[in-house]
């Protein structure tokens, strides 16, 4: 079983202007002392169409982690607007928090993010080139999508044996940290469907 | 038998493979398939047992769910102490869970259900050794070992005191091992596997004792589990799936020679699970005084793939009951409640059924002592530590206990100078005095962030709680209580004359809200006109007793003179013991009062007795003397009599008057036998009449004293002086009704204590205090009381206790106490009688101190009482005492436990008593149990 359980993620400073940093207050619990650090990442999905626009906003190591309940605030800068397709700047997208141990991802928390103009005038007639200073980012904090993966917590030995009883998820192999988020996007979040039902979820 | 299928116990339709009821009966665990993992759920038992609890939305049904197993959970088992839960699953793991104290209820983050876990159960150990699915787990008697078996054909014995140490790995099966059971005496463990064999292993050297194959040769096909079971007397082992003449059976294997001559036949498909009732039964006693010795027998439930359940008694040739079509799929597991009357069954179809039997159906369960006696007879050793001689070899099981024992030795060496500190204070949920909220506000600023050598950010997380530390806050649900009494007594008066009637009702415990202040009472429509009409003459004979009163009450009440009380709605609020009481006066009727969760209802048409404490020091007592008009017939004292007071469970009372003469005084003995458990008590006066119910026992004596005892024989109230000789006495549930014949009484002098309790000393050497809540005079001192003269508790007075000589009780009793202290030298009574007298005396003292509201004296006598119980080994009373002091741990409707008594916090008192209990190693279970519960409750 997982040695680390995420108990809660609180989204701070939400909603906020698009340019503000992301802040997540993460509470997790650890069953026993971890010899290695945990690595947390925030990934911003720039476009639902293609994973090539995914941006890793930041990655932090968290440690040392003794057994017990811990919390920290993960702050990361806002996405680089230059890497976001102009057509996808306004509307619903996704932010992901992932955590890996020994290079193996064991949890992925996805949030829907809605970017929209606060000014009704701009909302009616959005400029062709998005005005990021006027955009407001609203993370749908009440509805996280959590996917957990079974990983080998005890170092790299007998990895083969352990992988037998693990769900056939593409991410459970040791190379998971290298794999961009998108290969799981289909499982974690129906990103492709977002544009259609965005009004419902917001 | 009652049958219930609680639909809310489900794993969302997924199969439930295992069920186990917690030893304390308050919860049960289920294990099975979860969404994409294995699932263990802990459920509250109360909503299964009581319909009102099921309907009450404030009572949680699910207490905790754990999704930590990676694959389907095949077995969940509570340890015998109830502290741990072990689960084994298809992920090859055995997990051991412990209740953890926590900051508060938490949800599973990201899960769709918003239901919070009410209790926090944390995996404390993961046992990894099996290379295949774990099919069954079993705790040994005394929780010394935990055994697990697996489809890897092995059985692993884990050291339950030192997880994850492996004691032994039992190899020999050539097929999937699917069931385990320990011998109740701890000599063997048996396993059943798909290799058509059942093997018995010795715990001495972990070698195979026997291999039984014959009954399984024909077995074809497989069952998911083969849960076999050992009978509680250790004499029989019953297998799962066996075949006899090509019919599926459950094979009975005799311990003596491992003979296989008998089986349970009748299921149409393979037997998946067999589970013995933990109790041994004997035939119901029909007539009280001479219980005919009958052969004890066991009870066994058998579940099968054919979806039916059968329950067998070893004394019957045919099953007691067979229930077909209880489920849509195979039965997977069975669990009995510890009292042996309830049974939970789970099925592959994802549902659970609860069956409840009555003692009429199963018989009288033997108590633990009798069960141990059987073990001792057969095996020469018993599971329970019963004699002092065995104590020297007793293993100390708990670190607190060990710590305590060691400290005690040291203390003894240091000439009793050291005192023990029982509590090791543990971390709470706040860090450095800051609350979690404060921490959260500044977390970003405060958290330590560094850069690693390669320039990456590294955050040191803030530790907000260590595992298993901060005690969980268990909220005591206080509920608005409203007493609704609907008692209509309307009888035909055979004579037009007016008969005085005293009715005393004690109701079941009630919970009282703290919020309301000021005792209020309303008597709605106290029908005085009906009363008058009764005086004239009524022809109808009708009575509607309270629900709790049984039919016997109804019948006997018919002869009573007519009184009509239609409805009282009484709202009480001040929760204090003895202080909150209600009186309702209507014409000459008084109704009222509250006493430790018992509602006492007094109605006396003629007597109007009232104590009005005006100023503390002035003796002031107004006594209106009742005038007797007509006497009811009073029973004459007999030498001895016996009566059965309850059938469900069977309770017999035996009274023997003038049983023994000690220094010229005569004592009467009351003996009560209940479910094979007996207690007796001594009374200073001859018993005229006695009555009892499943909850209380009441006796009336010649000297007009009414004594009320608990089911275990603990005195609940000091002797109540009834205003008139007793005429009749009835009990039902927590209700006691006393019917007296009224006579005149006079009181010569009175005084009022510091606590505002009026005390009267009479010239005949007796002292009474007025119990305002009971509105009766209670006997607190009697110079002629032979009990006082003979009680010997000298050994129980600790040198550390300051003798209480200033309290009101000591003042009234005066020199009598000194006489008592010397009793051991003065009298040469037999020990058991001496023991009984001391016990009775100490309980009297305790009850009197309570009535006098003398907290220092109460404290003083409580400690002495506890020391006496500990040295004399009165297990049941000690347990009852602790239980009362601890109060309810779990939420349940209708609990009226008060946290304080006389301004003393009960749990603090318990904390004080625990070291006393720890002095006798025999009570280490009790010590551990309450120590842990106290810790869990986290009383600040």
Contact: B36, A75; criterion CB under 8 Å: no
Q: Is residue B37 over pLDDT 50?
A: yes
Proportion of chain B above pLDDT 90, given as a percent:
22
Of all residues in chain A, the one with the smallest CA distance to B72 is: A165
Q: B66 falls in which pLDDT band (50, 70, 90)? A: confident
The pLDDT value recorded for residue B618 is: 30
- Tell me how close the Cα of A40 comes to any Cα of chain B, in angstroms: 10
pLDDT at B558 over 70: no
Q: How far is A163 from chain B (nearest CA, A)?
A: 12
**DSSP tag of B219:** -
A71 to B95: CB separation less than 8 angstroms, yes or no: no
> Are the beta carbons of B467 and A68 separated by less than 8 Å?
yes
User: Would the CB atoms of A1 and B461 count as touching at under 8 Å?
Assistant: no
Cross-chain residue pair A68–B440, CB shorter than 8 Å: no
Nearest CA in chain B to A24: B444
Report the C-alpha gap between B843 and B516 in whole angstroms.
33
Q: Is the pLDDT of residue B746 over 90?
A: no
Report CB contact under 8 Å: B444, A6.
no
Q: Provide the CA A123 distance to its chain's centre, in angstroms.
A: 27
Q: How confident is the model at residue B211 (pLDDT cuts 50, 70, 90)?
A: very high
Check CB contact under 8 Å for A68 and B458: no
Whether B830 shows a pLDDT value over 70: the answer reads no
Do residue A37 and residue B443 have CB atoms under 8 angstroms apart?
Answer: no
- Which position has the higher pLDDT, B903 or B268? B268
> Which pLDDT does position B171 carry in this prediction?
93
For residues B101 and B472, the answer to whether their CB atoms sit within 8 Å is yes
Res B666 pLDDT > 80: no
Tell me the pLDDT tens digit for each residue of B682-703.
887 888 888 877 777 888 887 7
pLDDT for position A169 = 41
At B621 the pLDDT is: 31
Put simply, the answer to whether B467 touches A69 (Cβ < 8 Å) is yes
Give the least confident one: A46-55, A139-148, B293-302, B429-438. Answer: B429-438
Å between A126 CA and nearest CA of chain B: 34
Helices marked H in chain A: 120-124, 159-164, 182-188, 194-201
Q: Which residues contact residue A22 at a Cβ distance below 8 angstroms, ignoring those fewer than 6 apart?
A: A42, A57, A74, A75, A76, A77, A78, A95
ipTM over 0.85: no
pLDDT at residue B108, rounded to an integer: 63
CA–CA dist B596, B605 (Å, integer): 26
Q: In Å, how far is A122's CA from the nearest CA of chain B?
A: 34
Question: Tens of pLDDT along B132-145?
Answer: 999 999 999 888 89
- Check CB contact under 8 Å for A60 and B457: yes
Q: Prior bond to B356 cis, omega within 30?
A: no
The secondary structure of residue B431, as a DSSP letter, is B
Task: Read off the pLDDT of each residue in B18-45 and give the average, rounded to a whole number.
Answer: 90
The pLDDT score that the predictor gives to residue B494 is 29
When mean pLDDT is compared across B205-209, B224-228, B727-731, the lowest value belongs to B727-731
Q: How confident is the model at residue B287 (pLDDT cuts 50, 70, 90)?
A: low
Taking the C-alpha atoms of residue B89 and residue B132, their distance in angstroms, rounded to an integer, is 9
Q: How far is A199 from chain B (nearest CA, A)?
A: 21
- Predicted pLDDT of residue B21: 95
- Is the CB of A60 less than 8 angstroms away from the CB of B466? no
Q: Minimal Cα distance from A66: which residue of B? A: B463
Mean pLDDT of chain B: 70
* CA distance to partner chain B, nearest, from residue A103 (Å): 15
Average the pLDDT over each of A153-162, B98-107, B588-597 and give the range with the smallest value: B588-597
Please compute the mean of the pLDDT values over residues B527-538 and round it to a whole number. Answer: 29
**pLDDT-derived band at B440, boundaries 50, 70, 90:** confident
Q: Residue A44 forms beta bridges with which residues?
A: A55, A95
The segment with the largest mean pLDDT, out of B475-479, B647-651, B860-864, is: B860-864
Specify the higher pLDDT residue, B555 or A69. A69
pLDDT for B212? 93
Tell me which residue in B111, B456, B464 faces A61 most closely, judged by beta carbons.
B456
A82-86, B686-690, B791-795, B852-856: segment of lowest average pLDDT: B791-795
Residue B562 is predicted with a pLDDT of 29
Q: Which residues of B touch A11 (CB under 8 A)?
A: none
- Tell me the chain B residues in contact with residue A189 when contact means C-beta distances shorter than 8 Å: none
Residue of B nearest to A64 (CA): B460
State mean pLDDT over B386-403.
53
Q: Is the dihedral angle over the CA atoms A65, A69, A73, A76 positive or is it negative?
A: positive
Question: Residues of B896-921 as b/e, b for ≥16 C-beta within 10 angstroms?
Answer: bbbeebbebebbebbbbbbbbbbbbb
Q: For residue B53, give the nearest of B929, B892, B937 by alpha carbon.
A: B892
Which of B79-88, B451-460, B632-641, B730-739 is the most confident on average? B79-88
Question: Which of B95, B103, B461 lies closest to A62 in CB terms?
Answer: B461
**Minimal Cα–Cα distance from B447 to chain A, Å?**
7
Choose from B38, B93, B110 for mutation: most chain A CBs within 10 A: B110
Q: Are A1 and B458 inside 8 Å of each other by CB? A: no
Least-confidence region, from B14-18, B325-329, B463-467:
B463-467
Residues of B at the A interface, defined by Cβ within 8 angstroms: 36, 68-71, 90-93, 95, 103, 106, 109-111, 123, 126, 439-440, 443-444, 447, 449, 452, 456-467
Q: On the CB side of B389, how many CA atoms lie within 13 Å of its CA?
A: 2
Mean pLDDT value across chain A: 77
With cut-offs at 50, 70 and 90, classify the pLDDT of residue B786: low
Tell me the mean pLDDT in the region B652-680: 75
Evaluate whether B457 touches B449 at the Cβ level (below 8 Å). Answer: yes
> What's the pLDDT band for B166 if we cut at 50, 70, 90?
very high
pLDDT at residue B788 in the model: 64
Decide if B456 and A60 are in contact by the 8 Å CB cutoff. Answer: yes
CB contact under 8 A, A70 and B123: no
Of B68, B459, B466, the CB nearest to A62: B459
The 10 Å CB-count burial string (b at 16+, else e) for B883-894 is: ebbbbbebbbbe
Per-residue pLDDT band for A57 (boundaries 50, 70, 90) equals: very high
Among B92-106, B734-748, B910-924, where is mean pLDDT lowest?
B734-748
pLDDT of residue B435: 65
Shortest CA gap A63–chain B (Å): 5
At residue B507, does pLDDT exceed 60?
no
Q: Which residue of A has its CA nearest to B100?
A: A68
- Measured in angstroms, the CA of A61 and the nearest CA of chain B are apart by 4
Average pLDDT over residues B173-185: 92
Least confident stretch, B62-76, B357-371, B540-554: B540-554
Q: Residue B109 is nearest to which of A12, A65, A146, comparing CB atoms?
A: A146
In the predicted structure, residue B581 carries a pLDDT above the cut 70? no
Q: What pLDDT is attached to residue B764?
A: 65
Amino acid B273: pLDDT:
95
Give the model confidence (pLDDT) of A7-37 as tens digits: 889 999 989 999 999 999 999 888 778 889 9
d(CA B596, CA B602): 16
CB pairs under 8 A between A and B: 99
Interface of A with B (CB under 8 A): 1-2, 5-9, 12, 23, 25, 27-29, 31, 37, 58-75, 109, 144-146, 150, 165-167
What integer pLDDT is reported at residue A161 of this predicted model? 40
Look at residue B456 and tell me whether its pLDDT is greater than 60: yes
Q: Give the gap in angstroms from C-alpha A55 to the nearest C-alpha of chain B.
A: 17
**A63: which chain B residues are within 8 Å (Cβ-Cβ)?**
458, 460-461
Asked if A2 and B109 come within 8 Å (Cβ–Cβ), the reply is no
User: What pLDDT is recorded for position B561?
Assistant: 30
N-terminal to C-terminal alpha carbon distance within chain B: 44
Do the chains contact at B70 and A144, CB–CB below 8 Å?
no
pLDDT mean over A160-170: 40
Provide mean pLDDT across the span A74-90.
89
Q: What is the mean pLDDT of residues A152-179?
A: 44
Point out the residue among A58, A67, A71 whose CB comes nearest to the CB of B461: A71
Nearest CA in chain B to A26: B461
Contact B465 A73 (CB under 8 A): no
Tens-place pLDDT, residues B852-891: 778 888 888 888 888 888 877 778 888 888 888 887 766 5
The stretch B79-97 carries a mean pLDDT of 92
- Closest by Cβ to B126, choosing from A1, A67, A68: A1
Question: Is the pLDDT higher at B372 or at B311?
Answer: B311
State yes or no: cis peptide before B649, omega within 30 of 0.
Answer: yes
Nearest to B461 among A72, A146, A165 (CB): A72
Q: With an 8 Å Cβ cutoff, are A63 and B458 in contact?
A: yes
Confidence of residue B741 (pLDDT cuts 50, 70, 90): low
Ranked by mean pLDDT, which of B229-233, B423-427, B511-515, B882-886 comes out on top? B229-233
Could you tell me which chain B residue has the CA closest to the CA of A59?
Answer: B457
Instruction: Look up the pTM and report it.
Output: 0.50
pLDDT band with cut points at 50, 70 and 90 for residue B48: very high
**A97 band by pLDDT with thresholds 50, 70 and 90:** very high
pLDDT digits (tens, 9 = 90+) for B408-423: 666 555 543 433 333 3
Residues forming beta bridges with residue A61, ordered by sequence position: A39, B458
* Strands A55-62, B457-460: pairing kind: parallel
Q: Chain B partners of A73 at a C-beta cutoff of 8 Å?
A: 443-444, 447
CB-closest option in B92, B103, B462 to A72: B462
Query: What is the pLDDT averaged over residues B256-263?
Result: 90
Partners of A166 on chain B (C-beta within 8 Å) are 70
**Does A90 or B37 have the greater pLDDT score?**
A90
């Amino acid at each position: 079983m997982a040695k680390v359980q995420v108990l809660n993620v609180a989204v701070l400073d939400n909603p906020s202007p698009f340019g503000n940093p992301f802040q997540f207050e993460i509470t997790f619990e650890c069953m026993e002392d971890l010899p290695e650090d945990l690595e947390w990442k925030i990934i911003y999905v720039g476009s639902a169409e293609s994973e090539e626009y995914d941006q890793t906003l930041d990655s932090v190591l968290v440690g040392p982690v003794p057994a017990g309940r811990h919390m920290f605030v993960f702050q990361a800068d806002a996405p680089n607007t230059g890497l976001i397709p102009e057509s996808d700047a306004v509307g619903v997208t996704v932010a992901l928090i992932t955590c890996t141990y020994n290079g193996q991802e064991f949890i992925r928390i996805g949030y829907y993010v809605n970017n929209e103009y606060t000014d009704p005038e701009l909302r009616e007639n959005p400029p062709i080139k998005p005005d990021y200073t006027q955009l407001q980012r609203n993370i749908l904090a009440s509805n996280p999508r959590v996917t957990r993966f079974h990983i080998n917590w005890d170092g790299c030995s007998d990895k083969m044996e352990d992988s037998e009883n693990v769900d056939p998820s593409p991410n459970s192999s040791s190379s998971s940290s290298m794999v961009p988020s998108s290969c799981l996007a289909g499982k974690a979040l129906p990103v492709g469907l977002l544009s259609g039902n965005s009004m419902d979820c917001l | 038998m009652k049958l219930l299928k609680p639909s809310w116990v489900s794993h969302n339709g997924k199969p439930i493979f295992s069920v186990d009821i917690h030893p304390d009966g308050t919860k049960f665990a289920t294990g099975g398939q979860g969404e994409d993992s294995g699932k263990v759920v802990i459920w509250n038992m109360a909503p299964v047992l009581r319909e009102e609890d099921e309907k009450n939305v404030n009572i949680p049904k699910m207490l905790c769910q754990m999704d930590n197993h990676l694959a389907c959970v095949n077995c969940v088992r509570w340890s015998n102490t109830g502290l741990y839960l072990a689960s084994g699953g298809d992920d090859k793991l055995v997990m051991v869970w412990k209740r953890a104290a926590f900051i508060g209820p938490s949800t599973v983050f990201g899960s769709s259900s918003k239901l919070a876990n009410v209790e926090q159960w944390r995996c404390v150990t993961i046992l990894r050794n099996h290379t295949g699915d774990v099919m069954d787990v079993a705790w040994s008697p005394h929780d010394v070992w935990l055994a697990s078996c697996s489809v890897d054909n092995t059985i692993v014995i884990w050291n339950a005191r030192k997880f994850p140490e492996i004691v032994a790995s039992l190899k020999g099966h050539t097929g999937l091992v699917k069931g385990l059971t320990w011998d109740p005496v701890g000599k063997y463990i048996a396993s059943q596997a798909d290799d058509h064999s059942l093997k018995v292993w010795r715990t001495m050297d972990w070698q195979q004792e026997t291999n039984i194959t014959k009954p399984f040769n024909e077995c074809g096909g497989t069952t998911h589990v083969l849960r076999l079971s050992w009978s509680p007397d250790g004499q029989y082992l019953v297998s799962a799936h066996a075949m006899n003449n090509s019919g599926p059976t459950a094979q009975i294997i005799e311990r003596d020679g491992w003979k296989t001559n008998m089986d349970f036949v009748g299921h149409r498909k393979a037997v998946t699970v067999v589970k013995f009732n933990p109790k041994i039964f004997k035939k119901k006693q029909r007539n009280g005084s001479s219980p005919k010795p009958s052969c004890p027998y066991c009870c066994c439930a058998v579940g099968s793939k054919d979806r039916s359940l059968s329950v067998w008694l070893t004394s019957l040739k045919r099953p007691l009951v067979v229930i077909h079509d209880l489920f849509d799929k195979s039965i997977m597991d069975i669990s009995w409640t510890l009292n042996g009357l309830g049974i939970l069954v789970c099925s592959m179809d994802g549902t659970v059924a609860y069956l409840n039997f009555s003692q009429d159906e199963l018989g009288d369960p033997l108590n633990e002592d009798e069960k141990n006696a059987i073990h001792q007879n057969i095996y020469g050793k018993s599971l329970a530590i019963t004699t002092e001689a065995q104590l020297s070899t007793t293993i100390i099981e708990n670190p607190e206990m060990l710590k305590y024992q060691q400290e005690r030795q040291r203390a003894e060496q240091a000439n009793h100078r050291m005192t023990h500190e029982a509590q090791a204070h543990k971390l709470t949920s706040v860090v450095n005095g800051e609350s979690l909220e404060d921490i959260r506000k500044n977390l970003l600023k405060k958290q330590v962030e560094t850069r690693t050598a390669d320039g990456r950010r590294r955050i040191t997380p803030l530790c907000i709680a260590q595992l298993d530390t901060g005690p969980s806050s268990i909220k005591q649900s206080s509920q608005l209580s409203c007493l609704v009494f609907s008692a209509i007594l309307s009888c035909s008066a055979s004579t037009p004359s007016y008969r005085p009637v005293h009715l005393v009702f004690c109701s079941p415990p009630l919970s009282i809200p703290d919020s309301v202040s000021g005792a209020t009472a309303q008597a709605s429509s106290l029908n005085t006109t009906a009363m008058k009409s009764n005086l004239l003459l009524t022809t109808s004979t009708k009575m509607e007793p309270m629900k709790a009163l049984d039919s016997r009450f109804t019948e006997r009440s018919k002869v009573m003179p007519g009184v009509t009380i239609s409805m009282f709605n009484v709202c009480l609020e001040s929760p204090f013991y003895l202080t909150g009481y209600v009186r309702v006066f209507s014409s000459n009727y008084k109704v009222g009062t509250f006493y430790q969760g018992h509602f006492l209802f007094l109605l006396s048409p003629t007597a109007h007795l009232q104590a009005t404490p005006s100023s503390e020091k002035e003796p002031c007592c107004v006594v209106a003397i009742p005038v007797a008009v007509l006497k009811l017939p009073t029973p004459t004292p007999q030498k001895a009599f016996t009566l059965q007071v309850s059938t469900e469970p069977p309770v017999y009372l035996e009274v023997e008057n003038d049983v023994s003469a000690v220094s010229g005084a005569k004592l009467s003995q009351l003996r009560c036998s209940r479910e094979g458990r007996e207690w007796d008590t001594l009374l200073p006066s001859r018993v005229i009449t006695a009555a009892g119910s499943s909850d209380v026992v009441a006796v009336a004596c010649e000297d007009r004293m009414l004594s009320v005892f608990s089911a275990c024989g603990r005195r609940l109230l000091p002797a109540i002086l009834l205003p008139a000789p007793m005429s009749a006495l009835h009990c039902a549930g927590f209700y006691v009704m006393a019917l007296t014949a009224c006579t005149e009484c006079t009181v010569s002098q009175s005084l009022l204590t510091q606590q505002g309790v009026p005390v009267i000393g009479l010239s005949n050497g007796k002292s009474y205090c007025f119990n305002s809540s009971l509105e009766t005079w209670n006997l607190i001192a009697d110079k002629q009381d032979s009990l006082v003269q003979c009680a010997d508790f000298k050994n129980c007075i600790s040198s550390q206790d300051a003798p209480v000589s200033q309290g009101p009780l000591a003042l009234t009793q005066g020199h009598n106490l000194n006489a008592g202290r010397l009793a051991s030298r003065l009298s040469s009574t037999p020990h058991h009688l001496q023991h009984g007298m001391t016990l009775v005396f100490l309980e009297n003292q305790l009850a009197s101190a309570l009535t006098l509201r003398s907290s220092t004296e109460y404290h003083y006598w409580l400690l002495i009482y506890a020391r006496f119980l500990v040295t004399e080994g009165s297990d049941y009373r000690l347990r009852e005492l602790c239980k009362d002091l601890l109060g309810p741990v779990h939420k349940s409707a209708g609990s009226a436990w008060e946290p304080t008594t006389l301004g003393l916090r009960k749990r603090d008192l318990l904390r004080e008593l625990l070291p006393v209990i720890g002095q006798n190693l025999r009570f280490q279970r009790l010590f551990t149990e309450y120590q842990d519960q106290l810790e869990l409750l986290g009383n600040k």
